[in-house]
């Protein structure tokens, strides 16, 4: 963690941009904690709030766009090749694609606030061939709400940010676990429905 803090303290806006881009792609970067820290640095006057918001937003947008692009290029073929090993066939993949076409854009908007989920939503959106225009509207709006929200929170907390970042992180982890359990339940439900449909 100290390494990331040091990078932001030394390189400022460039480090915020690069670390958030890598974190949203899926590398082990503590995104929310870094946003809180950057907001705290703005509170201390070591960074300006408006430029750090721009850097965070651009980093988030770049990261999620890379994930979306990878999903469009290799996502569907990867799912077809690996799916049978996990009992996922073409029918289930088509069901996921249909669901994502209707509701997946909202997952892009909300998924930013769930660690682990935001790393997957854009990839799945790309593999489901969600329209780039629809992707951009919802993913970039989510990026703005997420990055600005945690930066402003870090700014508002001021000197209390370090004490409260732990409880905030734990709350996000619990949210992620609940969200993951919900995704697993939904997947099993869809799989059973497809199997029942084939058996009729």
Full pLDDT tens readout for the chain, 200 residues = 788 889 998 999 999 999 999 998 888 888 888 999 999 999 999 999 999 999 999 999 999 999 899 888 887 666 656 555 545 555 656 666 676 667 778 888 887 877 777 777 888 888 888 889 989 999 999 999 999 999 999 999 888 877 777 676 666 666 666 766 666 676 566 556 655 555 55
pTM of the model: 0.78
pLDDT of amino acid 74: 82
For the stretch 123-153, pLDDT in tens is 888 888 888 998 999 999 999 999 999 999 9
Contact indicator for 175, 68 with CB cutoff of 8 Å: no
What is the secondary structure of 134-188 as a DSSP string?
HHHHHHHHHHHHHHHHHHHHHHHHGGGHHHHHHHHHHHHHHHHHHHHHHHHHHHH
The domain ranges of the chain are 2-199
DSSP 37-104: HHHHHHHHTSS-HHHHHHHHHHHHHHHHHHHHHHIIIIIHHHHHHHGGGGT--HHHHHHHHHHIIIII
């Amino acid at each position: 963690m100290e390494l990331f803090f040091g990078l932001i303290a030394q390189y400022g806006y460039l480090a915020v941009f690069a670390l958030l881009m890598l974190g949203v792609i899926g590398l082990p970067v503590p995104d929310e904690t870094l946003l809180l820290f950057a907001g705290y640095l703005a509170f201390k006057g070591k960074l300006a709030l408006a430029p750090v918001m721009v850097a965070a937003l651009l980093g988030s947008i770049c990261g999620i766009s890379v994930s979306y692009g990878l999903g469009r290029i290799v996502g569907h073929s990867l799912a077809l090749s690996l799916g049978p090993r996990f009992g996922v066939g073409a029918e289930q993949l088509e069901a996921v694609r249909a669901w994502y076409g209707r509701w997946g854009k909202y997952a892009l908007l909300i998924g930013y606030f769930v660690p682990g989920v935001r790393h997957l939503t854009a990839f799945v959106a790309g593999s489901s061939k969600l329209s780039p225009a629809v992707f951009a509207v919802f993913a970039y709006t989510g990026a703005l709400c997420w990055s600005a929200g945690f930066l402003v929170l870090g700014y508002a907390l001021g000197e209390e940010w370090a004490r409260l970042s732990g409880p905030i992180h734990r709350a996000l982890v619990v949210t992620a676990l609940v969200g993951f359990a919900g995704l697993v339940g939904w997947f099993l439900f869809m799989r059973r429905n497809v199997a029942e449909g084939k058996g009729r």
